Amino acid sequence: MMADQMYHGLILQSIGGFYYVETADGVFECKARGTFRKERVSPLSGDRVTVTVNADGTGVVEEILPRRNSLVRPPIANVDQLAIVASVAEPKPNVLLLDKLIAIAEDNAIQPLVVITKSDLEDTAALEAIYRMAGFPVFAVTNTETESAAALKDVLTGKITAFTGNSGVGKSSLLNLIDPALCRETGEISKKLGRGRHTTRSVTLFPLSGGGYLADTPGFSALDIERTQPIDKEALFDCFREFEPYFGKCRFTGCSHVHEPDCAVRAAVEAGEIARSRFDSYVAMYEEAKLRKPWETQG
């Protein structure tokens, strides 16, 4: 290879000041230009970048191409989809946490996918109905049947998808259904990094056999993102997509949709057009946002 080859690439992993960039000619270990530090910009997993690669195979990140979105914690850019994994049983679904993660995705222009696991243990119809009515893609899967994950695998193709969910919901089993090699790889990375000091700082993108990438995001939680990228109460309405048809139809301009009379959103809840649980989550998040102190938004 000649010295100073220039490539466009994708950062698969960022750890310890090194960036592993996938290019047309393979994955190269790169450092970042010092100018990024001066500009207080850090390359992230998921970034599309320009790199210069030397004859010894090491390289330098020269430029970060414009991002469509980015999260601070976990640090990742250009996420297309957030697959929010909840089990229908053992443990029971936490709909407030589910709705918080959906709102965070919406606020960051990331498509939420609702994935309900353990569908062989309990009927998922009621939970599916809530999120289908709200307008989200919903996938119900078992822990063992590969066919149950077929529709989910189809929507991962060609996208960068991050997976998140509470402990015990069956994420490992789900990854195994999507691609057995993927489950092994994410497990090896977790062991290597340890469940401690690096986990909230490291994100790895794994190529999927059908195209696209799955983001392994240790430490991904609603609380982490709420602290670093909180949603203002004024912006919360736009994070509940099923509210949109009722925009401007309330009696009062600037209606919070919490307690005002003649509120079109609350009327839609009473009419069964908006799920009660979704509205309750909105109210809980609105009240939390009202009480949030400035220091609570610091990472």
State the CATH architecture for 5-65: Beta Barrel (2.40)
Residue 191: the pLDDT is: 55
Q: How confident is the model at residue 207 (pLDDT cuts 50, 70, 90)?
A: very high
* 61-96 residue pLDDT tens: 999 999 999 987 778 999 999 999 999 998 899 999
* 124-179 residue pLDDT tens: 999 999 999 999 999 999 988 888 889 999 999 999 999 887 777 877 788 888 88
- What is the chain's mean pLDDT, rounded? 87
Q: Is 71-223 in CATH node 3.30.390.50?
A: no
pLDDT at 122 over 70: yes
Written in H, E and C, the secondary structure of the chain is CCCCEEEEEEEEEEECCEEEEEECCEEEEEEECHHHHHCCCCCCECCEEEEEECCCCEEEEEEECCCCCEECCCCEECCCEEEEEEECCCCCCCHHHHHHHHHHHHHCCCEEEEEEECCCCCCCHHHHHHHHHHCCCEEECCCCCHHHHHHHHHHHCCCEEEEEECCCCCHHHHHHHHCHHHHHHHHHHHHHHCCCCCCCCCCEEEECCCCCEEEECCCCCHHHHHHHCCCCHHHHHHHCHHHHHHCCCCCCCCCCCCCCCCCHHHHHHHCCCCCHHHHHHHHHHHHHHHHCCHHHHCC
Residue 171: the pLDDT is: 79
Residue 240: the pLDDT is: 98
pLDDT at 265 over 60: yes
Q: Is 230-297 in CATH node 1.10.40.50?
A: yes
Per-domain residue ranges of the chain: 5-65, 71-223, 230-297
Residue 165: the pLDDT is: 78
